[in-house]
Amino acid sequence: MTLIPVPAFTDNYIWVLHDGRTALAVDPGDAAPLEQTLDSLGLTLQTILVTHHHADHVGGLARLRQRWPAAPVIGPAGEAIAGLDERVQDGDRRQLLGQSVQVLDLPGHTAGHVAYFIEAPSDGCAPLLFCGDTLFGAGCGRLFEGTPAQMQASLARLAALPGSTRVCCTHEYTLANLRFARHVEPGNERLAERERHDQALRAAGHPTLPSSIQLERDTNPFLRCDQAELQAAACLRAPHPARDGTPLAVFTALRDWKNRF
Ligand SMILES: [Zn+2]
């Protein structure tokens, strides 16, 4: 199985997983770059997965459905998205490209956001997670429709996945997220290491993704709200009464802080 991030717009990736003949694509906000990739590799589109309703994730659906009418579009049961063939929710499984794909409900960025998890890819490689705009490299999505408690619970579910899980999120936000992460947790040496590594990747024109769940546990401040350094930073920043230092209060303060950073 081959995994490809197809760049779209300014900083989106449309993830493609293929076996040399057929492919599945995740969150095709724009049809053109995806079609170009499929055509250049001689791939047939088998299935489209959608994580949530935002335009930069679904904008290519109409054109792709015309071109590939046999490829079902699978998306979240809880969101109004035109052109879905199958609506899925937490615990559902689909057999796609010979892979068992599990659906996880992850409310927070939007109310009905889902992710797709392949725990045991048939090629024996590490698990795969397509998590849309929930977990980003060293960051997390904005709370457009959900509460901080919902988003934190969703991120906790992802953090509990196997550490080797490859994290395929939809935006190349990693370097900007790392600047914030270094600001709020300057004592974390893994962060400095990651920043050097990811800066070199971007300078060479490569994506910083997929990352891994273990790397996110070690460096993503939104998964580290129980760490003393982050608690102290958030308590200084947060308005009363969020100064109780609970992981939820720390998360809420960090998310608000990042919005203004
Ligand atoms: Zn979004």
Judge if 143 and 93 occupy the same domain: yes
Q: Distance (Å, rounded) from C-alpha 97 to C-alpha 189?
A: 40
Q: Is the pLDDT of residue 221 over 70?
A: yes
Judge if 147 and 229 occupy the same domain: no
Judge if 238 and 167 occupy the same domain: no
What would the DSSP string read from start to end of 11-52?
A: TEEEEEEE-SSEEEEE--S-HHHHHHHHHHHTPEEEEEE---
| Annotation marks residue 109 as catalytic | yes
Judge if 75 and 144 occupy the same domain: yes
Judge if 246 and 137 occupy the same domain: no
Whole-model pTM?
0.97
**pLDDT digits 0-9 by tens, 11-61:** 999 999 999 999 999 999 999 999 999 999 999 999 999 999 999 999 999
Q: Is the pLDDT of residue 112 over 60?
A: yes
Which burial class, exposed, middle or buried, applies to 172 when counting CB atoms under 10 A from its CB (0-12, 13-18, 19+)? Answer: buried
Judge if 185 and 239 occupy the same domain: no
- Structure confidence at residue 236 (pLDDT): 83
Judge if 23 and 87 occupy the same domain: yes
Instruction: Provide the pairing of β-strand 12-18 with 86-88.
Output: unpaired
- Ligand 1 centre and the CA of 8: distance in Å? 14
- Ligand 1 centre and the CA of 259: distance in Å? 15
Judge if 97 and 169 occupy the same domain: yes
| Annotation marks residue 57 as catalytic | yes
- Structure confidence at residue 243 (pLDDT): 63
Phi, psi of 209 (to 5 degrees): -115, 160
Range of the domain at 254: 225-261
Please pick, among 18, 27, 30, 52, the residue that the annotation labels catalytic: 52
Q: What do you get for the CA distance between the two ends of the chain, in Å?
A: 39
Number of structural domains (the chain) is 2
Reference 211, options 151, 171, 259; nearest CA is: 171
Predicted confidence band of residue 220 (pLDDT cuts 50, 70, 90): very high
Predicted confidence band of residue 202 (pLDDT cuts 50, 70, 90): very high
Judge if 247 and 118 occupy the same domain: no
Judge if 197 and 254 occupy the same domain: no
Q: Distance (Å, rounded) from C-alpha 185 to C-alpha 219?
A: 9
**pLDDT digits 0-9 by tens, 159-168:** 999 999 999 9
- Ligand 1 centre and the CA of 240: distance in Å? 30
Judge if 201 and 249 occupy the same domain: no
Q: Distance (Å, rounded) from C-alpha 140 to C-alpha 143?
A: 9
Q: Is the pLDDT of residue 10 over 80?
A: yes
Predicted confidence band of residue 128 (pLDDT cuts 50, 70, 90): very high
Instruction: Provide the pairing of β-strand 73-76 with 86-88.
Output: parallel
Judge if 229 and 114 occupy the same domain: no
- Structure confidence at residue 158 (pLDDT): 98
- Ligand 1 centre and the CA of 122: distance in Å? 30
- Here the CATH number for the domain that contains residue 151 is 3.60.15.10
- Structure confidence at residue 240 (pLDDT): 55
* Radius of gyration from C-alpha coordinates of the chain: 18
The three-state secondary structure class of 87 is strand
pLDDT > 70 in the chain, percent? 98
Where a domain ends, among 216, 233, 251?
216
- Ligand 1 centre and the CA of 133: distance in Å? 5
Q: Is the pLDDT of residue 261 over 70?
A: yes
Cβ(45)–Cβ(21) below 8 Å: no
- Structure confidence at residue 244 (pLDDT): 73
- Structure confidence at residue 245 (pLDDT): 78
Predicted confidence band of residue 242 (pLDDT cuts 50, 70, 90): low
| Annotation marks residue 171 as catalytic | yes
